[in-house]
């Protein structure tokens, strides 16, 4: 068991109380529960606060503290839980293709995912990919559409690795590309620090939130809230910092940090979105 990891508290946090034998059923169960309870959010980078990846900090923030996090936090926490439950796990890294600019389609390895062995087979697990997060592990098997509780996904072979695609609105879209080369905590520290501190980092300048609910996926980008259901997408514009706070607390279940810095940052998010809307009208 990873030193200092409280697996009981983690399972309580995600609402799992079943058997703990490391089977595929257990992997499926906790993979579905994690992104339905612990949201993707980037409040720390937005506020200019550090993002720590050690076990104690992750437990304090995401398990005991009622917060969420981004991919490095989610999948490091998930890896610790999986290992505590007896699953063999290898940490991997991916280059994000979703939303990549056409002029720079191949970026750095800025995303973390996991390779998990269950009942003698290997699976891709990823509970930290924002609004398109997996809600079930995928067999490490190429060219096969695999159902999940939400969209179907598939792995396509590419350059000694794979591309993960999701079937969104009837179209296959690439999410990221990865290889099976094992990564180490120091590899993630580099990307984690860069994305948290570089002035041009998307995560420092954009408010993001995502969570999966029975009725669909909730995705927040600045003041724009989208609820993706099977029968279509509902969109809302949140007018003001108070509305953003309410959304983060009630729709995403985030225990907001008690600091005046948050309200200031959210007011700036609203100001920037309003200014952008004015220039486009």
Structure tokens at 221: 């980008």
Residue-range domain boundaries for the chain: 205-280
pLDDT, one tens digit per residue, over 141-171 is 999 999 999 999 999 999 899 999 999 989 9
SS3 of residue 113 by DSSP: strand
Q: What is the pLDDT of residue 80?
A: 97
pLDDT, one tens digit per residue, over 47-77 is 999 999 999 999 999 999 999 999 999 999 9
Mean pLDDT in residue range 121-148: 97
Residues that are catalytic: 71, 111, 126
2 pLDDT above the threshold of 60: no
Structure tokens at 140: 């490490």
- Alpha carbons 172 and 165: distance in angstroms, whole number: 6
Q: What is the pLDDT of residue 1?
A: 45
**How is domain 205-280 classified at the CATH fold level?**
Arylamine N-acetyltransferase fold (3.30.2140)
Among 95-99, 144-148, 210-214, the range scoring the smallest mean pLDDT is 95-99
pTM for the model stands at: 0.95
Q: Which residue carries 């946090």 as its tokens?
A: 13
């Amino acid at each position: 068991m990873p030193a200092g990891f409280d697996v009981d508290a983690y399972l309580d946090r995600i609402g799992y109380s079943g058997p703990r034998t490391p089977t595929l059923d257990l992997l499926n169960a906790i993979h579905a529960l994690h992104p339905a309870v612990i949201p993707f959010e980037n409040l720390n980078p937005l506020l200019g606060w550090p993002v720590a990846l050690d076990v104690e900090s992750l437990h304090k923030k995401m398990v005991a503290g009622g917060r969420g996090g981004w991919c490095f936090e989610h999948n490091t926490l998930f890896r610790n839980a999986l290992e505590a439950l007896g699953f063999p796990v290898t940490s991997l890294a991916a280059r994000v293709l979703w939303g990549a600019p056409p002029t720079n389609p191949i970026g750095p390895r800025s995303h973390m995912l996991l390779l998990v062995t269950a009942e003698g087979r290997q699976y891709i697990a990823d509970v930290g990919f924002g609004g398109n997060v997996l809600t079930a592990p995928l067999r490490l098997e190429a060219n096969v559409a695999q159902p999940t509780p939400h969209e179907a996904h598939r792995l396509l072979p590419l350059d000694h690795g794979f591309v993960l695609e999701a079937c969104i609105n009837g179209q296959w879209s690439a999410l990221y590309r990865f290889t099976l080369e094992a990564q180490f905590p120091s590899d993630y520290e580099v990307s984690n620090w860069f994305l948290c501190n570089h002035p041009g980092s998307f995560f420092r300048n954009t408010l993001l939130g995502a969570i999966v609910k029975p009725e669909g996926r909730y995705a927040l980008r600045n003041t724009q809230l989208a609820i993706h259901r099977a029968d279509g997408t509902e969109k809302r514009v949140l007018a003001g910092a108070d509305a953003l706070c309410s959304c983060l607390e009630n729709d995403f279940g985030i225990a907001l940090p008690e600091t005046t810095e948050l309200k200031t940052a959210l007011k700036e998010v609203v100001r920037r979105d309003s200014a952008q809307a004015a220039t486009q009208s």
